């Protein structure tokens, strides 16, 4: 890698990773800075293109909104990767690597996402993730997963936001309490 490129990546990571001691991304996580093309009318911003390295496959596109003082966490997918970009507000997105064969097993990454410094966050399969707004406003995230949502057999495996299997404090007492742990065991 070119030395100037390595410096750029370090500066970029320092701005968006909310925990400065994080020196390593979870294996398979990809960050791509997004460029806003601004003029007197507003701006245009590409979020994901089929000719970018981050692109695997298009499944669908949706938005999710999280209210203040609430955590939308934890869940993971067995068959899809997610691509997050914040459209409104400011969000702390947290990832946890529970893959025992991963070199970053049990690592946590935190990211601060907003339109102030926009970027695309690619979340690999089998990595727990969730988010919470920062501040007193809700946060809106666009997700472009690599698979269609299957209503009859969702590829979504949940744990409560305060689950003791992940040593993480969301700083709130409100969040998802649903768990699919028993259902997962039956599938094995």
Contact predicate 169/92, CB 8 Å = no
pLDDT of residue 179: 84
Handedness of CA 176, 95, 102, 32 (dihedral sign): positive
Instruction: Give residues with Cβ within 8 angstroms of 156, minimum separation 6.
Output: 75, 76, 77, 180
What is the C-alpha separation between 28 and 85, in angstroms, rounded?
Answer: 17
The DSSP letter of residue 175 is B
Per residue in 28-63, pLDDT (tens digit) is 999 999 999 999 999 999 999 999 999 999 999 999
Assess if CATH 2.60.120.10 describes domain 27-38+56-187. Answer: yes
Q: What pTM value is reported for the model? A: 0.85
Per residue in 91-105, pLDDT (tens digit) is 999 999 999 999 999
pLDDT of residue 39: 95
pLDDT of residue 5: 45
pLDDT of residue 63: 98
- Give the side-chain half-sphere CA count within 13 A for 15: 13
What is the C-alpha separation between 115 and 129, in angstroms, rounded?
Answer: 20
Answer whether residue 18 shows pLDDT above 90.
no
Answer whether residue 86 shows pLDDT above 90.
yes
Between residues 185 and 128, which one has the greater pLDDT?
A: 128
- Could you tell me the two tokens for 122? 């690619």
Per residue in 147-174, pLDDT (tens digit) is 999 999 999 999 999 999 999 999 988 8
């Amino acid at each position: 890698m070119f030395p100037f490129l390595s410096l750029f990546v370090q500066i970029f990571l320092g701005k968006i990773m909310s925990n400065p001691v994080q020196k390593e991304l979870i294996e398979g996580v990809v960050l791509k800075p997004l460029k806003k093309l601004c003029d007197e009318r507003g701006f245009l911003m590409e979020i994901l293109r089929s000719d970018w390295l981050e692109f695997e496959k298009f499944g669908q596109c949706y938005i999710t909104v999280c209210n203040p003082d609430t955590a939308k966490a934890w869940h993971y997918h067995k068959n899809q990767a997610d691509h997050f970009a914040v459209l409104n507000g400011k969000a702390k997105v947290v990832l946890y690597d529970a893959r025992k064969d991963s070199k970053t097993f049990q690592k946590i990454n935190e990211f601060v996402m907003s339109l102030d410094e926009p970027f695309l966050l690619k979340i690999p399969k089998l990595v727990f993730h969730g988010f919470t707004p920062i501040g007193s406003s809700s946060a809106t995230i666009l997700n472009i997963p690599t698979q269609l949502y299957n209503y009859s057999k969702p590829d979504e495996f949940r744990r409560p936001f305060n689950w003791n299997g992940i040593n993480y404090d969301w700083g709130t007492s409100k969040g998802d309490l649903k768990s699919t742990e028993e259902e997962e065991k039956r599938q094995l």
